[in-house]
Amino acid sequence: MNTVNNAGDVRAGGGSGAGRVAVVTGAGSGIGRAVAAELLRGGWSVALAGRRTEPLRETAALVPGAPSLAVRADVAREEDVTALFAAVVDQFGRVDLLFNNAGTFGPGGVPVEELPYDAWKHVVDTNLNGAFLCARAAYRQMKEQDPQGGRIINNGSVSAHTPRPHSAPYTATKHALTGLTKALSLDGRPYRIAVGQIDIGNAATDMTARMEKGALQADGEVVPEPVMDVADVARTVRHMAELPLEANVQFATVLATTMPYVGRG
């Protein structure tokens, strides 16, 4: 793990997120980058976590002068997650928000009978075990800090509800993430820790670019699918993040309006 900071002073003023500290995993691209930039523009101090430092720097540069900390970390490695949160607390003093976003599709389109165990394990380690490790670290900090509490938002997926063909690892981890969200939400109540989940369908990122060209449907056809602006996802996450801790969006679904999700299959 290494860090690159543009932190300066953390002080109030400039927006409803001012003076609050967020950790965004998978912040070097896609949804993570969009959410991190949205929070930075809203006055949050943001720790940007990812496996490569340069993309994290590029994310920080989208909002020049905003207080940020780039931390190279693999969320599937317990020691990296421990070091990540130690660096954030050392720099900013507390954690008010974790956006648990890092994830991977894995080998899409591979029938389950042909799926290598290593591929399954990689998706589980990143999407589920990584989410748990980050949530546990955030939970520990939020429970002990003063003022107590904070918020965790898990990035689920519409695949937390309905699978695509040949997507067993991804779908299984996203269903499991819903259970983790519910359990953390319940266990966090005594400590003012609010936990919710955003389920996203076809935000326009590099990961979903192939869907615009054609995605395999349940009937075997390959059909181009609509996408939506990732900025709309970022604004939704910020809305969830900036609610008072007495209010919580437990689950939110944000998707391209005409994508084949409702009635999929």
Cα separation, 77 vs 100, in Å, equals 15
Q: Decide if 227 contacts 211 (C-beta within 8 A).
A: yes
Span 152-207, pLDDT tens digits: 999 998 888 887 878 899 999 999 999 999 999 999 999 999 999 999 988 777 76
Query: What are the tens digits of pLDDT across the range 21-75?
Result: 999 999 999 999 999 999 999 999 999 999 999 999 999 999 999 999 999 999 9
Hey, is 222 helix, strand or coil? strand
pLDDT (tens digit per residue) in 103-153: 998 887 788 999 999 999 999 999 999 999 999 999 999 999 999 999 999
Query: Which of 72, 38, 75, 73 lies closest to 154 in space, CA to CA?
Result: 75
Check residues 1 and 231 and name the one with the higher pLDDT.
231
What are the residue numbers of the active site? 170
Tell me the H-state helices in the chain: 30-41, 53-61, 78-92, 117-123, 130-144, 168-188, 209-213, 230-241
